[in-house]
DNA sequence: GAGTGGTCTAGACCACATA
DNA sequence: ATGTGGTCTAGACCACTCG
């Protein structure tokens, strides 16, 4: 950040078209941060603080411009980038909304397993367990916790069109997901990320995955109805929320006969 | 496209600020295409036709604005999107350049296999063969050719830090890659896509991948120095050039012990 | 018709690179 | 000093949505 974080009076001011505002240009700021980036930060803060909740509409561009004392074009550019990052969703004629996992037209953003025939195989989740325990060194490292900090472990199966296809082990920081039980999980329907968002106020923004081919170990093989040693896709995901804070580690084993992991390189 | 494809006189004209240009607004165009999209198309044409070649600089924004008879802001938005699509690269103070696979700071854009330790293991290619044959039904379909059309097949191994890690089978349309031989391949050094670009005028823009876990078949296992049945990552890639025309099918088998396929979900 | 996002323009000035 | 992309502003008008 540069200066004027809260109520900018045009720091690196390049002045309005025909006005005499802010004839600054001091030492040619060494750490230059454009105004719209600062606005972006301010909007992100409001998202993080819950001033505008997932699914809700945010103030119009003109309102925000007035609030931040900048031109509409500047908040526009800020919102553009936030929309590109999937934090906001623009809807022409209606307004700008906080992105949500609840009413998203597709969870394909995070589940990229497709059937060979391209059909729309609906997937259902079968919960296996949900318990609280202390983080291993590895999980603690990935979740940015201290070893032996409390975590929640969820195990579940995903069935695609009746076929058992995915086994997931999901680790969550216990402090954030207080009160998460198997009962509560089973009551809720819909994507896990939607539940995390509405029930625990934690919204997944982005994730990284490490993908490998592995041989099925006996316990995994049994759950997935494949012989031991069967080749499985191992997907280790770390999900992040605002401020790039990790909030989930998910280890998945995918059966990729009849299904494949779809990826786009661009 | 809307109208005025070549030398626009502001079709859906919303007129300059204080001028009397193009007071149109006819039947409220049913298929509305913004000006900057049309400009984007015109620039893409120039890229495709080779008017500006990979690595070269393109005309400045003001020049293009004059050429297309639009404001600088409009060509700016067009270039912005083309840069986001990795067709152009902006460099402040210098100009805008046509993207190239030659001097790219990283080919990580297309090779996403990383070592567990995160180190910079240099990879070297070992060519196995390069022959011309007739497309199978499947390959023809994927390359949008007619069955039995001529294709080129390249097989190669990739070694990471000495270890054999990847086996690739690469299919190319024979008509485009005329004169591609094993000798020519071995002479060239650097990424294949760089060679395709400079030697055959075909630039890869984007690709899709289907990823699976499979058991190594005997012939593959032998080449990769793993036992038969060993779990391998199967990566089937289709690459596209301008106009979303497919120009490569690449089937890869990756050994993912000590390495993983890195992916970002956002 | 009023409000919202989307497009387009024109002009000023800043940051960066190069000569 | 000049030219290039990058930021910021102000204002006009268009496309879309909804009451």
CATH code assigned at B48: 1.10.10.10
Q: Between A85, A237, A261, which is nearest B211 by CB?
A: A261
Residue A134 three-state SS: strand
Domain of B177? 107-261
Of the candidates B99, B127, B160, which is a domain's last residue? Answer: B99
Same domain, A176 and A239: yes
Cα–Cα distances (Å) from A67 to A71, A98, B89, in that order, read 10, 18, 35
Chain B: which residues have CB within 8 Å of chain A?
85-86, 109-110, 112, 205-215, 229-234, 237, 254, 256, 260-266
Same domain, B72 and B154: no
Q: Which bases of strand D sit closer than 7 A to a protein CB?
A: 3-18
Whether residues B94 and B170 fall in one domain: no
Q: Does A243 lie in the same domain as A152? A: yes
Write out pLDDT tens, residues A199-212. 999 999 999 999 99
Best mutation site among A84, A110, A231 for testing chain B: the one with the most B CBs within 10 Å? A231
Candidates A210, A215, A255, A260; CA nearest to A236 is A210
Considering only CB atoms, B213 lies closest to which of A85, A206, A231, namely A231
* Cα distance between residue A156 and residue A128, in whole Å: 5
For residue B48, give both structure tokens. Answer: 């495709």
**Is residue B146 in some structural domain?**
yes
How many CB atoms sit inside 10 A of residue B202's CB?
20
**b/e per residue, B10-26, with b = 16+ CB within 10 A?**
bbbbeeeeeeeeeeeee
- Cβ pairs bridging A and B (under 8 Å): 100
Q: Which residues from A are below 8 Å from B260, CB to CB?
A: 210-212
Same domain, B95 and B112: no
Let me know how many helices (H) and strands (E) chain A has, helices first: 7, 10
In this structure, are A144 and A115 located in the same domain? yes
With CA of A34 and C1' of each nucleotide, the nearest comes out as: D7
Compare all CA atoms of chain B with the CA of A85 and give the residue at the minimum distance.
B266
Reply yes or no on whether the pLDDT at A175 is more than 90.
yes
Of B88, B96, B81, the residue nearest B40 (C-alpha): B81
Are A39 and A21 found together in one domain? yes
- Length A24 CA → C3 C1' (Å): 36
DSSP at A57: B
Note down pLDDT in tens along chain B; length 266 residues.
333 333 333 444 444 333 333 333 333 456 789 999 999 999 999 999 999 999 999 999 999 999 999 999 999 999 999 999 999 999 999 999 999 999 876 667 898 999 999 777 788 999 999 999 999 999 999 999 999 999 999 999 999 988 999 999 999 999 999 999 999 999 998 899 999 999 999 999 999 999 999 999 999 999 999 999 999 999 999 999 999 999 999 999 999 999 999 999 98
Tell me if A13 is assigned to some domain: yes
Residue in B211, B256, B260 closest to A260 by CB: B211
Q: Are residues B130 and B252 in the same domain?
A: yes
Residue A136 corresponds to which tokens in the numbers above?
């291993």
Q: Are residues B130 and B114 in the same domain?
A: yes
Q: Is residue A148 part of a domain?
A: yes
B245 exposed, middle or buried (CB, 10 Å; 0-12, 13-18, 19+)?
Answer: middle
Residue B148, domain member (yes or no): yes
Share of chain A above pLDDT 90, in %: 79
Dist CA B2 CA A145 (whole Å): 56
CATH of the domain at B194: 3.40.1410.10
Last residue within a domain, chosen from B83, B99, B115? B99
Query: Does residue B266 fall inside a structural domain?
Result: no
Count of the separate structural domains present in chain B:
2
* B44 found inside a domain: yes
On whether both A61 and A167 belong to a single domain, the answer is no
Same structural domain, A60 and A113: no
| Strand C–CB B259 distance below 7 A | no
Asked if A12 CB < 7 A from strand C, the reply is: yes
Whether the beta carbon of A91 falls within 7 A of nucleic chain C: the reply is yes
CA to C1' distance (Å), from B13 to D13: 9
Coil, helix or strand for A246? Answer: strand
Distance B59 CA to C13 C1' (A): 22
**CA distance linking residue B11 with residue B13, whole number of Å:** 5
Residue A72 lies in a domain: yes
Length of chain B: 266
End position of a domain, from candidates A75, A99, A123: A99
CA distances from A178 to A153, A184, A199, B108 (A): 12, 12, 10, 40
CA–CA distance, A76 with A17 (Å, rounded to integer): 18
Q: Mutate one of B116, B118, B213, B224 to test the A interface: name it (highest A CB count within 10 A).
A: B213
Q: Are residues B150 and B204 in the same domain?
A: yes
Among chain A residues 214 through 243, which have CB within 7 angstroms of nucleic chain C? none
pLDDT band at A106 (very low <50, low <70, confident <90, very high): low
Q: Is the CB of B92 under 7 A from strand D?
A: yes
- Which helix (H) or strand (E) segment holds residue A114: the answer is strand A113-115
Q: Which two tokens stand for residue A85?
A: 């990052």
Distance from CA of B94 to the nearest CA of A (A): 19
CA closest to D2 C1', residue: B93
| pLDDT tens-digit readout, A50-93 | 999 999 999 999 999 999 999 999 999 999 999 999 999 999 99
- DSSP alpha helix (H) spans, B86-169: 137-143
Q: Is the Cβ pair B207, A265 closer than 8 Å?
A: yes
């Amino acid at each position: 950040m540069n200066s004027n974080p809260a109520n900018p009076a045009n720091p690196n001011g390049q002045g309005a078209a025909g006005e005499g505002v802010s004839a600054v240009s001091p030492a040619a700021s060494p750490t230059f941060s454009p105004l719209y980036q600062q606005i972006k930060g301010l909007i992100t803060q409001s998202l993080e603080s819950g001033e505008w909740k997932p699914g809700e509409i945010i103030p119009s561009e003109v309102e925000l411009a007035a609030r931040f004392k900048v031109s509409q074009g500047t908040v526009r550019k800020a919102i553009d980038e936030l929309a590109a990052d999937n934090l906001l969703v623009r809807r022409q004629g209606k307004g700008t909304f906080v992105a949500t996992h609840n009413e998203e037209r597709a969870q394909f953003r995070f589940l990229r397993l497709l059937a060979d025939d391209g059909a729309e195989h609906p997937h259902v989740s079968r919960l296996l367990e949900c318990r609280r325990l202390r983080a291993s060194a590895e999980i603690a490292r990935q979740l940015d916790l201290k070893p032996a900090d409390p975590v929640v472990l969820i195990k579940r199966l995903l069935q695609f069109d009746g076929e058992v296809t995915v086994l997931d082990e999901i680790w969550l920081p216990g402090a954030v997901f207080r009160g998460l039980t198997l009962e509560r999980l089973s009551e809720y329907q819909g994507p896990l990320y939607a539940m995390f968002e509405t029930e625990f106020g934690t919204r997944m923004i982005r994730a990284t995955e490490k993908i490998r081919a592995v041989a099925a170990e006996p316990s995994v093989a049994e759950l997935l109805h494949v012989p031991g040693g069967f080749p499985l896709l191992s997907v280790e995901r770390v999900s992040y929320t605002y401020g790039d804070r990790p909030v989930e580690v998910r280890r998945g084993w995918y059966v990729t006969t009849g299904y494949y992991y779809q990826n786009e390189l661009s």
